[in-house]
Amino acid sequence: MTTNAIRRIGVLTAGGDCPGLNAVIRAVTKTAILRHGIEVVGIEDGFIGLVDDRVRPLSFRDVSGILTRGGTILGSNNRCNPRHHPTGVNPDGSVVFSDVTPRCLATIRRHGIDALIVIGGDGTMAAAASLVAAGVNIIGIPKTIDNDLVGTEISFGFLTAVATATEALDRLHSTADSHHRVIVCEVMGRNAGWIALTAGVASGSDMVLMPEIPYDEENIARFIDQRMRGPGFAIVVVAEGATPRGGKQVVARMDPLSPDPIRLGGIGERVAEVIASLTAVEVRTTVLGHIVRGGTPVAADRILATNFGFHAIHTLMQGARGRLVVRDNNLYTDIDLLASAGKQRRVPLGHPLITAARAIGTSFGDRPTGIDPASEPSTIC
Ligand code: F6P
């Protein structure tokens, strides 16, 4: 399809929601209408809206005033991959999955949609594959609080999640200090530690446990003992995907209807138990969970979302097909849509933030760390 043939586009948001989705929907819709005179329709609840034919027009007015709103006005879903969609139940109670790509294609044809703007993470881009293979032109926009999409240095939603987690950690500091306790705070992030690392450093937390750096229980206990002999309290941030050395991730539940069925959670409590059993310290656990996915996007995420939305339409109107708009070295560009499908970008071990955090005495639980505060001189010369 040539650029000139694009008269109407569809927009959908898929996967777990995150702050900034509405800001992207707004930027896509306004750019399409104002700059190119293209009609925009919204598809409800991700790919399920294509399966069930739930499509509605999006006007300039519909997207005015939504910049600051959390969530997505279109709804989202992290259970749908058109190639593997639950369509019934077997006599033994197991779910029947079918390829419903033809139903999606029929909806796209019925509504005269010339291209789709798909806003999602690696699972969403993987889910888009069967539509791409069938010839649908899709331009993707990277979304995830986890910041783990391959090909982009940042996804929108991440910075708001970090800001929310940082505020929570700040609050935990004062209560941990007052009670001379250790507080373990578990944060989302799936198999990557971006949120834990960034919020951990931003809040000055004492220990960051993340999937990329397996921890050692003895090192955790030694570090906590040191902290208790010095400041007398400690904040430990634990990414939900963190593991002990040689151990496994803690799975909270399985979601059999989801293409990515594992839901992590519970490692915070495990770490708290380890600390309580190896030290004489009082420990509490807080799990932030979905709190970091809600609420209004921070300014930086609004800017990112607006840039991504504009660039998606710009890329489409340049005649591109099957591309993911990304940010690389502070510049907006695009890569093959499927290059990031089903892959995850983890924190590199040599990341500068890890180096800086280690330099200021933050422990990652993997090795003996820092100065023993009890042996520090009491006066500064
Ligand atoms: O990918 C975003 C995310 O919030 C992850 O950090 C988390 O592991 C997962 O989604 C939770 O999924 P759900 O909303 O299905 O519980």
Rounded to the nearest whole angstrom, what is the distance from the C-alpha of residue 137 to the centroid of ligand 1? Answer: 27
- Tell me how many degrees the CA angle 301-113-66 measures, rounded to the nearest 5: 30
Atom 3 (ligand 1) nearest CA: 16
pLDDT(377) > 50: no
More confident residue, 207 or 376: 207
Residue 128 phi/psi, 5-degree rounding, is: -75, -15
Query: Is 365 part of any domain?
Result: yes
Domain at 133, CATH number: 3.40.50.450
User: What pTM does this model have?
Assistant: 0.95
| Cα 177 to Cα 172: distance, rounded to the nearest angstrom | 8
Atom 2 (ligand 1) nearest CA: 16
Rounded to the nearest whole angstrom, what is the distance from the C-alpha of residue 157 to the centroid of ligand 1? Answer: 13
Check: CB of residue 157 under 8 Å from CB of residue 301: yes
Same domain for 174 and 143, yes or no, is: no
Rounded to the nearest whole angstrom, what is the distance from the C-alpha of residue 101 to the centroid of ligand 1? Answer: 25
Per-residue pLDDT reduced to its tens digit, 34-60: 999 999 999 999 999 999 999 999 999
Same domain for 178 and 279, yes or no, is: yes
H/E element holding 345?
none
Rounded to the nearest whole angstrom, what is the distance from the C-alpha of residue 294 to the centroid of ligand 1? Answer: 12
Task: Tell how far CA 188 is from the center of its chain.
Answer: 8
Check: CB of residue 309 under 8 Å from CB of residue 31: yes
Altogether, the residues listed in the chain come to a count of 381
Q: What percent of the chain has pLDDT over 70?
A: 96
Same domain for 97 and 167, yes or no, is: no
Query: Is 30 part of any domain?
Result: yes
Atom 13 (ligand 1) nearest CA: 16
Rounded to the nearest whole angstrom, what is the distance from the C-alpha of residue 12 to the centroid of ligand 1? Answer: 18
Same domain for 140 and 150, yes or no, is: yes
| Cα 349 to Cα 363: distance, rounded to the nearest angstrom | 14
145 Cβ below 6 A of ligand 1: yes
Domain of residue 258, residue span: 158-293+347-369
With cut-offs at 50, 70 and 90, classify the pLDDT of residue 376: very low
Residue type for position 62: D
Query: Is 317 part of any domain?
Result: yes
Query: Is 70 part of any domain?
Result: yes
Q: Which two tokens stand for residue 345?
A: 């970008």
Same domain for 77 and 181, yes or no, is: no
pLDDT(21) > 70: yes
Q: Which two tokens stand for residue 18?
A: 């995150």
| Cα 147 to Cα 346: distance, rounded to the nearest angstrom | 9
Check: CB of residue 316 under 8 Å from CB of residue 5: no
Same domain for 94 and 177, yes or no, is: no
pLDDT(191) > 60: yes
157 Cβ below 6 A of ligand 1: no
Residue 213 phi/psi, 5-degree rounding, is: -125, 90
Same domain for 90 and 175, yes or no, is: no
Which residues are CB-contacts of 2 (< 8 A; sequence separation ≥ 6)?
319
Domain at 272, CATH number: 3.40.50.460
Same domain for 184 and 325, yes or no, is: no
Ligand 1 atom at shortest distance from the alpha carbon of 263: 8
Query: Is 267 part of any domain?
Result: yes
Count of domains in the chain?
2
Per-residue pLDDT reduced to its tens digit, 69-111: 999 999 999 888 999 999 999 999 988 999 999 999 999 999 9
Same domain for 299 and 352, yes or no, is: no
| Cα 159 to Cα 90: distance, rounded to the nearest angstrom | 43
With cut-offs at 50, 70 and 90, classify the pLDDT of residue 370: low
23 Cβ below 6 A of ligand 1: no
Atom 11 (ligand 1) nearest CA: 263
Query: Is 375 part of any domain?
Result: no
Same domain for 223 and 359, yes or no, is: yes
Same domain for 34 and 129, yes or no, is: yes
Per-residue pLDDT reduced to its tens digit, 110-158: 999 999 999 999 999 999 999 999 999 999 999 999 999 999 999 999 9
108 Cβ below 6 A of ligand 1: no
- Residue to probe by mutation, ligand 1, list 186, 188, 249, 292, most atoms within 8 Å of CB: 188
Ligand 1 atom at shortest distance from the alpha carbon of 121: 1
| Cα 130 to Cα 27: distance, rounded to the nearest angstrom | 27
Same domain for 272 and 326, yes or no, is: no
